[in-house]
Amino acid sequence: MEWILAPLKKYATFSGRARRKEFWPYMGVFYVIFLALFIPVQTDPGSPMVFALGLFSLALLVPTIAAFVRRLHDVDKSGWWYLINFVPFVGGIILLIICIPEGTQGANQYGPDPKAPPVG
């Protein structure tokens, strides 16, 4: 469970880096729950699931954006790249593709390599 809780523990931490091991499981669980709430809303827009979907989305908005920003930092991109998500049709796909590669080895301008063993 640590892999899903790690981004939530860093709720609004936009600095630093996030490994793929931290980012992808969190995003997978996020999207599965989002779709489980979204599909009933599509079939019955008047259902109480609308409230649950809104509450879920609002509660996880900040940690999800923070996880994306830290992941972008790991691949040596500015967090401002997150805004590409707002390009219609392709922005979200481009953002996810940017997040696929392994992070920069060693320290980069956003912090030390999260894969490196702790010093000391």
pLDDT, residue 86, reads: 96
Q: Other CB atoms closer than 10 Å to residue 46's CB: what's the count? A: 7
Q: What SS3 state is found at 111? A: strand
pLDDT, residue 115, reads: 85
- pTM for this predicted structure: 0.89
Contacts of residue 54, Cβ cutoff 8 Å, sequence gap at least 6: none
Residues 94, 57: Cα–Cα separation, whole Å: 21
Residue type, 97: I
pLDDT, residue 119, reads: 67
pLDDT, residue 114, reads: 87
Residues 83, 85: Cα–Cα separation, whole Å: 5
Residues 84, 86: Cα–Cα separation, whole Å: 5
Q: Other CB atoms closer than 10 Å to residue 10's CB: what's the count? A: 17
Q: What is the mean pLDDT of each run of 10 residues along the chain (120 residues)?
A: 78 92 92 93 88 94 95 96 96 95 93 80
pLDDT, residue 81, reads: 97
Alpha helices in the chain (DSSP H): 2-9, 20-43, 49-59, 61-74, 91-98
Of 81, 78, 58, nearest to 15 by C-alpha is: 78
Each domain of the chain, given as residue ranges in start order, spans 2-98
